[in-house]
Amino acid sequence: MTATETAIATVTLTIDGQSVTVPKGTTLLKAAAKANIEIPTLCYLKELAPDGSCRMCMVEVEGGRKGGLVTACTEHAKDGMVIHTQNEKIRNSRRFVLDLLLSNHKLDCFKCPSNGDCKLQDYSLEYGLLETSLHGRRQPANQQDVTNPFFDYDPEKCIMCRRCSRVCQLRQGRDIISISHRGFDTKMLPCYGEDWDESMCESCGNCVSVCPTGALSSKDQRHFRTWETTKVRTTCPHCGTGCQVDLLVKNNTIVGAEPANGAANRNLLCVKGKFASYKFVASGDRLDTPLIKRNGQFEKATWDEALSLIASRFGALKATYGGSSLAGFSCSRSTNEDNYVFQKMMRTAFGTNHVDNCARVCHSATVHGLAQTLGSGAMTNTIADITQDVDTILLIGSNTTEAHPVIGSQIRQAVQNGTKLVVIDPRKIDLARHAELHVQAKAGTNVALINGLMHIIIENGWADDAFIAKRTEGFEEMKALVADYTPEKVAKICEIDPADLIKAAELYAKADKAPIIYCLGVTEHSTGTEGVMSMSNLAMLVGKLGRPGCGVNPLRGQNNVQGACDMGCSPFDFPGYQKINQPGVVEKFERAWATDLNPNVGLTSTQVLPAAIKGDIKGLYIFGEDPIVTDPDISHVRKALENLDFLVVQELFMTETAEYADVVLPGISFAEKDGTFTNTERRIQRVRQAVQPRGGAREDYRIFCEVATRMGYPMAYPSASQIMDEIASVVPTFAGVNFKRLEAIEGLQWPCRSQDDPGTPIMHVGEFSRGKGLFMAIPYKPAKELPDDAYPYLLSTGRMLYHYNTRAMTKRTAGINQLAPHSYIEMNTQNANEMGIKDGDKVRVYSRRGTIETYAAVGDQVLPDAVFMTFHFPDGNVNEITNSVCDDIAIIPEYKVCAVAIEPVK
Amino acid sequence: MERVISMANITTDEKIAIINRYHANPEQALNILIDLQFTSSDGYIDQATAQLVAAHLGVTETRIYEMVSFYAILKEAPQARYVMKICNSAPCHFSGEQIVSHELEEILDIQEGQMTHDGLFMYHSIPCVGACAQAPFIKIKDRVFANLTADDVAQLISDLRAGRYPEL
Amino acid sequence: MITREQPVLTARFDALKADPTNVAAFCELAGYDALKKAVTMEKTAILDELDTALLRGRGGAAYPAGKKWRSLYQSAGDTKYIVCNADEGEPGTFKDKALLMSDPLAVIEGMTIAGYLFGARQGYIYMRGEYRSLHRQFAQALAHARQANFLGENILGIAGFNYDIRIISGAGAYVCGESSALLNSIEGKTGRPRVKPPHLAEVGLYLKPTLVNNVESFADISVIVREGGAAFLNLGTKDGGGTKLICLTGHVKNRGLYEVNLGTPLYDLIYSDQYGGGSSTGRPLKFIHFGGQSGPIGAVAQLKDCIYSYDGLWDYDLSIGSGALVVLDDSVSIVDYLTSVSQFFTHESCGKCTPCRIGTLRIQELLEKFQQKIAVPGDLEVLKSMMTHVTQLSACGLGRSVTTSMESGLKLFPDEFAAAINQQTAEQREVMW
Ligand SMILES: Cc1cc2nc3c(=O)[nH]c(=O)nc-3n(C[C@H](O)[C@H](O)[C@H](O)COP(=O)(O)O)c2cc1C
Ligand code: SF4
Ligand code: FES
């Protein structure tokens, strides 16, 4: 049935005396909800098809067959039906169901962690069952499984509603916990009854979130009762997915997190969001007072002392060497409001455009590449749009299930629903197992590969000529260039089978709806920007832009890296990507901010550090970044920081970078502030204060205002909301954004140009932001450092599920460290055997830049002669050895390719 | 006596051959599992085999385990050399089925579902197998020993011990 | 021409004994005549014949095949599936086994007619796991049919008539006989019933419109097409055409399978030498359990005038079901019998829905109390109330028919229950639901 047909065909029925009209095919449960009549349910989950198993939602259909009782969750409304939801017959049947459940349920509510947060308990009270009247066989006692670090499972409290298993299978796409046996012996269990910690469970906790009783309960639940807590809706502080989450707060401490029905996550969370998004907030080692380094030692200081020192030292440097001797790195984990005020402080009070954020080391290539070809450097479509109802997903260089786990789950759902997945990745990532086709191309060969795909598409006549003619320019040059990229040639470069290349081209080009989803595997190269432009080339070639289920979709890494870029924490752009070197822009901001501004384009963070070594940069203000851990070739970073005259670090914790600071300022976390984050799909969503900051930590933008004011540029905002109002006044694509509108859980997607603009889910509809889409002819260039005899292995870096970046947040949750305690290097079994290395052995890894020690993870995740490490761990910090060569356009480092050697540690 | 917990007598290659006989088609999972179980003299599906099947069919191990634990014919634990099935559904139950179960309990000194120490015998009470008109009976694999008396049961056991039915 | 005096479903059994999969021998005995005729008929004319024949589904639910076929015929979609339910799980039933063993090609022919009518490319037969030896023979029958071009591509030389049948093995789960559970099982899933709506004629196997019929129903289809609907109706009564395969078990002399005309007097089936031959124990026969464990019970003494036909049994609140007749003598207490029935259902509940998963066991436990004569006053009310709820609340036909035999048993032999209650116990039980 098409959408319009459903909309027209309606039925009218009577529910408890009320007349209700609903579309044909509506269930009685939904029809009743429309009449504000609540029907009790235990197994129902609104995201999934009804299960009809608990039989709690019985209602009576007048004149129905065999007693007229039907389950409201499954029965469709029909014209003229007369429904009763609350008569004695129905109440009796619900009592019977409850009595049966209680007769096989541990009745130990007092001790149960879910006491007060249990549907079985609630309904039993409502229906007057204080105990069971049925005394017969029960399931065996004492079967608890407490082996998962985050939650416990007690089958004796399971009511077999199957919500956990359905969520695990159908929404999380993991299929760990499931129904075993049958009849009375039916039991929810991981396979063969193994313990949780032996199963493949990745601890996302979505089963815990949906369990209506205490069968699955979080370990933290022992420390509170739901009725003692308040819920604060906010945005998860981890990756760029932007999941909406409810923090549970008891006595100014966050004790738990529940998924909320956000547009990006629809009631799902990953292990970080569910279990690791709050412990760090109350961690005992939070900075709670300013520190000033005296004689190499940090000493506690008052705010006044610290701020005065900062203002006078930066002021002096500016007076002596000019504003261009100062630089600032902003925090892409903090709010839009903090980022806006930070860059405003740098540009006004400091007089410098050397302001950047960590997008430089992840997605600056995206920002530059797509801005040039399409006119706007952000995800073109929404997460829901590219994972629901699409024919093919072309996934390139994105280990989605680990880096953006909730998007990864949605891709797995898409595959379950029939979408064909094409994975292009040098590693056998988890999604490769779900893929129709995995093209295991060698790292660093994306441009050649995409040129090859385009060659095949053009040769076979699969290109969208009308789209190309009407909406693009530069096609002929591109076509001429790719003519040379035959499948055979490309297959040789990428070390793949040419037939796979052809199949990939066909799967993508011939699909009606097919998004490209990519991530750092495309950007973190010396040819990153060119790789990104190749993405837009490919999508334009087949006309898959500006319409639903298509687009070019970079997955942004940090929770607010999109926002930090949007807010102008970039050496090239004022807020809203208004270019410094574009006529009139500097003047506009001089007017808006009522001060003279530095008219010169600034240095990127990757350029600031070498400049510091040279002595050109003298003072640096680092807000919430830890470049010692995150930037490539760390010894260079150390040298740069040591060489500075004055370094300020504003942080939550004493990081490795903070150790180098002259002054350390205690900022506050996402849970202690109001503001907004912008997720990877350009969705601006609220961040809300859940707890009061402890000690002397201060709200970050207020600190910037103080610093700026002391440096002679007075700044003050009463609240984050007013900052957003100012942003709306200077950024046309934010003109319609304000906190009142952002109260809605779906937030707003920019561009949102006026109060009645609903926001923009899909960009480039009808016309590109830059007018015509620009094809770029891009020749393939090999990575800068390739394996040789001395360094025979090609190293790539990336993320893992459990940790988030430098682990500053995640390592403060004990369970996470239990699951992922140390660094490791993935290597192919063949190489490991050659070197006599076994899984788990300690190995030494060295490159031209340094040496680290780590543990071998042997298997077939990587191909022979390729190796892989995550960048989260200080023991075996891979960035000691990565290559700091950069892409010439976005100046993004080539994290994805360098040459290393490996030896076993005896 | 504990027996080795594994489907030791079929190799991985043989298992894969069975899977491929059904073109590793997930639709044929039941057929595959049954074939595997019947090919193994241990008469059950162990976890390693379930994992192998899952990997080859491209489904999760959980899907396979759910089936193994759901379908009565599939077993999770090793079975005896001779597994005797006795129907306890009403038509048989009231046609003398107890004679058989009683006799087996006496002779073999085991309860239903247990294995004799020598690993030779085991009996299960199961629902109807469609041999109701021949009750009381014992079914071993596809063979029905019909209309049994207590003496017949004793004879059958000693015949089996003596190896008179090698095909079973 | 067929007459009431001749067997139709079992007609070929003896002649094919040497090799029931022999297509040539089958054809000599009018085999495949129906298919050859069907391909010359208007498709709607075939449906009309089915309506006239008034074939009621032989799997147990007695749903008119004509209606089922017509609704599938009308449902949209190019891909439709044909499924033969050969799970035969009702205790006391072995008639599908007989057909599969002795005349498998008759079933294949019926399924092929369905394939032709609905333009299906693939049929499935889901065979009870315990019939393993039959799988091999059936596979051979399929192979022979393929060789003779009665299956495969361009069947009978008709371009585009491509159809084949695959065997899927069951593995010991009674609930898989329920059509939607059966489809899940075919798809390689655990055989638990699906939520309805949608109905299988719209959303069935792999979400496509699907026909599910019993083995015997498919065999009947060939008879109807070959002989015409009217002739088939004439084999039975005005409320249901055809013959019926019945399975006599329990305490009758001649246990076994029989083909009978619908409309035969019940007592003939029990007592005449041609059929049951009366009591095998010398004791009076007490009751008959009709149609498997999910069916109702009748007291022999009250059934003197009963006619074995759909409406004939309905007059006595009885039903044909699968065709099983478990006949028991007066040594069997109704309480013992029903306890045994409840144990079957407890064992076979798929465990998906609450009333069946837990309720069936609770009913069994209460019956066991009666069996041990330790029931207390009020237990009977509790039992009846539980029965009502389990029947009304269960999700599928299994849970909904757990109590069918109990309802009739309680009604027919109330004294046996009353006698099991220890009136001395002061304990009263209050029904809270
Ligand atoms: C629990 C349960 C078990 C069933 N078992 C069988 C069976 O073994 N064989 C069968 O043909 N029908 C069985 N049925 C009936 C089927 O659901 C279905 O009605 C039948 O296969 C349709 O075919 P028919 O219309 O030809 O009878 C069962 C139904 C239920 C609810
Ligand atoms: S009624 Fe019984 S068999 Fe049917 S779905 Fe419910 S639990 Fe399963
Ligand atoms: S009832 Fe026992 S074999 Fe059928």
Q: How confident is the model at residue B90 (pLDDT cuts 50, 70, 90)?
A: very high
Does the pLDDT of residue A139 top 60, yes or no?
yes
Which ligand is nearest to the Cα of residue C353, counting in written order? 2
The mean pLDDT of A480-492, rounded to a whole number, is 93
Q: How far is B82 from chain A (nearest CA, A)?
A: 24
φ/ψ of A452, rounded to 5, equals -65, -45
Task: Report the separation in Å between the CA atom of A353 and the middle of ligand 1, taken as the mean of its atom positions.
Answer: 77
For residue range A802-823, what is the model confidence (pLDDT) as tens digits?
A: 887 777 778 788 888 888 888 8
Is A633 within a domain?
A: yes
Which ligand is nearest to the Cα of residue C110, counting in written order? 1
Question: Which of A39-53, A168-182, A802-816 shows the lowest per-residue confidence on average (mean pLDDT)?
Answer: A802-816
Which of A69, A86, A103 corresponds to the end of one domain? Answer: A86
Of A151 and C3, the structure prediction assigns the larger pLDDT to A151
Task: Report the separation in Å between the CA atom of C53 and the middle of ligand 2, taken as the mean of its atom positions.
Answer: 33
Q: How far is B134 from chain C (nearest CA, A)?
A: 8
How many C-beta atoms lie closer than 10 Å to residue C425's C-beta?
Answer: 13
The mean pLDDT of A146-161, rounded to a whole number, is 94
The domain that holds A844 is classified in CATH as: 2.40.40.20
Task: Report the separation in Å between the CA atom of C363 and the middle of ligand 3, taken as the mean of its atom positions.
Answer: 22
Look-up: residue for tokens 């039941």?
Answer: B30
Quick one: pLDDT at residue A7?
Answer: 52
Q: How far is B47 from chain A (nearest CA, A)?
A: 7
Chains contacting A with at least 3 CB pairs below 8 Å? B, C
Percent of chain A with pLDDT over 90: 64
> Closest-CA residue in chain B for C255?
B133
Which ligand is nearest to the Cα of residue C175, counting in written order? 1
Of A105 and B3, the structure prediction assigns the larger pLDDT to A105
Q: What does the mean pLDDT of chain A come to?
A: 90
CA angle A113, A114, A115 (to 5 degrees): 95
For residue A327, the enclosing domain spans 291-362+560-726
- Provide the greatest CA pair distance for chain B: 51
Cβ of A186 within 8 Å of Cβ of C357? The answer is: yes
- Provide the greatest CA pair distance for chain A: 92
Residue ranges and CATH numbers for the domains of chain C are 23-234 (3.40.50.11540), 243-327 (3.10.20.600), 334-424 (1.20.1440.230)
Instruction: Tell whether the torsion through CA atoms of C347, C349, C352 and C353 is positive or negative.
Output: negative
CB C187 within 8 A of CB B27: yes
Quick one: pLDDT at residue B4?
Answer: 41
Q: Are residues A493 and A409 in the same domain?
A: yes
The mean pLDDT of A77-91, rounded to a whole number, is 94
Q: Which of A189, A191, A415, A430 would you mutate first to test chain B, the one with the most B CBs within 10 A?
A: A191
Pocket test for ligand 3, best of B85, B87, B142 (most atoms within 8 A of CB): B87
Q: Are residues A65 and A179 in the same domain?
A: no
Q: How far is C307 from chain B (nearest CA, A)?
A: 23
Q: Are residues A824 and A888 in the same domain?
A: yes
**Ligand 1 atom closest to Cα of residue C218:** 26
How many C-beta atoms lie closer than 10 Å to residue C119's C-beta?
Answer: 16
Cβ of C132 within 8 Å of Cβ of B72? The answer is: no
Task: Report the separation in Å between the CA atom of A875 and the middle of ligand 3, taken as the mean of its atom positions.
Answer: 67
Question: Which of A421-435, A885-899, B141-155 shows the lowest per-residue confidence on average (mean pLDDT)?
Answer: A885-899
Pocket test for ligand 3, best of B125, B128, B144 (most atoms within 8 A of CB): B128
Q: Is the CB of B146 under 6 A from ligand 3?
A: no
Quick one: pLDDT at residue A6?
Answer: 47
Dist. CA C288–CA C336, nearest whole Å: 14
Q: Are residues A849 and A829 in the same domain?
A: yes
Is A494 within a domain?
A: yes
What residues are in contact with ligand 1 under a 6 Å CB criterion? C 57-61, 63, 85, 87-90, 174-175, 177-179, 212-214, 217, 396-398
Which of A229, A250, A282 corresponds to the end of one domain? Answer: A282
Q: How confident is the model at residue B108 (pLDDT cuts 50, 70, 90)?
A: very high
Q: Are residues A415 and A529 in the same domain?
A: yes
For residue range B50-79, what is the model confidence (pLDDT) as tens digits?
A: 999 999 999 999 999 999 999 999 999 999
Is A128 within a domain?
A: no
CB A331 within 8 A of CB A526: no
* Of residues C91, C247, C251, nearest to B89 (C-beta): C91
Question: Which of A635-649, A884-898, C10-24, C380-394 shows the lowest per-residue confidence on average (mean pLDDT)?
Answer: A884-898
Q: How confident is the model at residue A676 (pLDDT cuts 50, 70, 90)?
A: very high
Is A122 within a domain?
A: no
Q: Are residues A710 and A577 in the same domain?
A: yes
Is A770 within a domain?
A: no
Q: How far is B3 from chain C (nearest CA, A)?
A: 25
Quick one: pLDDT at residue C33?
Answer: 97
Quick one: pLDDT at residue A897?
Answer: 80
Task: Report the separation in Å between the CA atom of C361 and the middle of ligand 3, taken as the mean of its atom positions.
Answer: 21
Cβ of A99 within 8 Å of Cβ of C392? The answer is: no
Which of A239, A257, A282 corresponds to the end of one domain? Answer: A282
Dist. CA A211–CA A162, nearest whole Å: 9
Taking CA atoms, A277 is separated from A243, A804, A810, in Å, by 11, 10, 8
For residue range C152-199, what is the model confidence (pLDDT) as tens digits?
A: 999 999 999 999 999 999 999 999 999 999 999 999 999 999 998 889
For residue range A96-121, what is the model confidence (pLDDT) as tens digits?
A: 999 999 999 998 888 899 998 999 99
The mean pLDDT of A637-657, rounded to a whole number, is 91
Quick one: pLDDT at residue B8?
Answer: 62
Q: Is A48 on the interface with C (CB under 8 A)?
A: no
Q: What does the mean pLDDT of chain B come to?
A: 91
What the block records as the tokens of C415 is 């004294």
For residue range A438-468, what is the model confidence (pLDDT) as tens digits?
A: 999 988 888 999 999 999 999 999 999 999 9
Which among A464, A225, A200, A240 is positioned nearest to A366, based on CA atoms? Answer: A240
**What do you get for the CA distance between the two ends of chain C, in Å?**
58
Q: Are residues A596 and A488 in the same domain?
A: no
φ/ψ of A307, rounded to 5, equals -65, -40
Of B4 and B49, the structure prediction assigns the larger pLDDT to B49
Q: How far is B66 from chain C (nearest CA, A)?
A: 7
Helices (H), B22-112: 29-39, 47-57, 61-70, 90-93, 97-108
Number of domain units in chain A: 5
Nearest CA to ligand 3 atom 2: B128
Interface of A with C in 101-160 (CB under 8 A): 101, 103-104, 129, 133-134, 136-137, 159-160
Quick one: pLDDT at residue A3?
Answer: 45
Q: Provide the ipTM.
A: 0.95
Does the pLDDT of residue A354 top 50, yes or no?
yes
Quick one: pLDDT at residue C5?
Answer: 82
Q: Are residues A414 and A518 in the same domain?
A: yes
**Phi-psi group of A549: left, alpha or beta (phi > 0 → left; psi -120 to 50 → alpha; rest → beta):** left
Quick one: pLDDT at residue C311?
Answer: 95
Does the pLDDT of residue A524 top 90, yes or no?
no
Does the pLDDT of residue A5 top 60, yes or no?
no
Q: Are residues A507 and A544 in the same domain?
A: yes
Q: Is C207 on the interface with B (CB under 8 A)?
A: no
Quick one: pLDDT at residue A2?
Answer: 42
For residue range A724-761, what is the model confidence (pLDDT) as tens digits?
A: 999 999 999 999 999 999 999 999 998 999 999 999 99
Dist. CA B71–CA A484, nearest whole Å: 58
Quick one: pLDDT at residue A656?
Answer: 86
Cβ of A176 within 8 Å of Cβ of B62? The answer is: yes
Is A112 within a domain?
A: no
CA angle C247, C251, C257 (to 5 degrees): 20
Nearest CA to ligand 1 atom 20: C59
Is A370 within a domain?
A: no
CA angle C413, C258, C173 (to 5 degrees): 70
DSSP for C212-278? EEEHHHHHHHHHHHHH-HHHHHHHSBTTB-SEEEEEEEESBSS-EEEEEETTEEHHHHHHSTTTT-S
Does the pLDDT of residue C52 top 70, yes or no?
yes
Q: Is the CB of B95 under 6 A from ligand 3?
A: no
Q: Is C258 on the interface with B (CB under 8 A)?
A: no
Is A683 within a domain?
A: yes
Dist. CA A84–CA A630, nearest whole Å: 62
Task: Report the separation in Å between the CA atom of A102 and the middle of ligand 2, taken as the mean of its atom positions.
Answer: 19
Cβ of C186 within 8 Å of Cβ of B27? The answer is: yes
Cβ of B70 within 8 Å of Cβ of A180? The answer is: yes
Sheet-wide strand order for A230-235: A230-235, A244-250, A253-259
Task: Report the separation in Å between the CA atom of B122 and the middle of ligand 2, taken as the mean of its atom positions.
Answer: 30
CB B23 within 8 A of CB B63: no
For residue range C204-258, what is the model confidence (pLDDT) as tens digits?
A: 999 999 999 999 999 999 999 999 999 999 999 999 999 999 999 999 999 999 9
The domain that holds A674 is classified in CATH as: 3.40.50.740
Q: How confident is the model at residue A781 (pLDDT cuts 50, 70, 90)?
A: confident
Count chain B–chain C contacts defined by CB atoms under 8 A: 130
What SS3 class is residue C3?
A: coil
CB A24 within 8 A of CB A13: no
Q: Are residues A545 and A464 in the same domain?
A: yes
Taking CA atoms, C315 is separated from A516, C306, C311, C320, in Å, by 67, 8, 6, 12
Which among A284, A287, A277, A288 is positioned nearest to A232, based on CA atoms? Answer: A277
What the block records as the tokens of A112 is 């149960």
Contacts of C378 in chain A (CB under 8 A): none
Of A811 and A424, the structure prediction assigns the larger pLDDT to A424
The mean pLDDT of C369-378, rounded to a whole number, is 93
Quick one: pLDDT at residue B5?
Answer: 45
The mean pLDDT of C376-404, rounded to a whole number, is 95
Task: Report the separation in Å between the CA atom of A163 and the middle of ligand 1, taken as the mean of its atom positions.
Answer: 29
Q: Are residues A518 and A627 in the same domain?
A: no
Contacts of C344 in chain B (CB under 8 A): 89-90, 127
Q: Are residues A541 and A443 in the same domain?
A: yes
Interface of C with A (CB under 8 A): 173, 190, 195-197, 346-355, 357-362, 365, 385-386, 388-389, 391-395, 400, 429-430, 432-433
